[in-house]
Amino acid sequence: MLKISQAGKTGQNFTLKLEGRIIGPWVGELRLICESLLGNGRAMKLDLADVSFADAEGVGLLTDLKSRGVTLANGSPFVNEQLKTP
């Protein structure tokens, strides 16, 4: 399960707090939310402090979002290791 909540908003900047695991159907849900916010020209930060795991599809989404300017913050050492590109 993945809980997605708005942790902050400053002007056009949004922070989404993620809690749980970025896996399976939750990857698609996170993608839809992020696309709708990014489509409106908003800057986004994802707070990964309470994310315990991301599967291959989840890592792919986070990597793609990062390449599009989304800030990934507070990832655990495990999640940060998952996000390292070879």
Provide the domain limits for residue 13.
2-83
| pLDDT per position as a tens digit, 54-75 | 999 999 999 999 999 999 999 9
Q: What 8-state DSSP symbol labels residue 23?
A: -
- Predicted local confidence at residue 63, as pLDDT: 95
Q: What is the pLDDT of residue 7?
A: 80
pTM above 0.85, yes or no: yes
Which CATH number fits the domain that encloses residue 41?
3.30.750.24
Question: Which percentage of the chain shows pLDDT scores above 70?
Answer: 98
Burial group, residue 5, by CB count within 10 angstroms (0-12, 13-18, 19+): exposed
State how many domains the chain has. Answer: 1
Q: Are 54 and 22 in contact (CB under 8 A)?
A: yes
N residues, the chain: 86
Among residues 64, 81, 55, 23, which one has the least CA distance to residue 46?
64
Other CB atoms within 10 A of residue 79 CB: 21
The pLDDT confidence band at residue 85, using thresholds 50, 70 and 90, is low
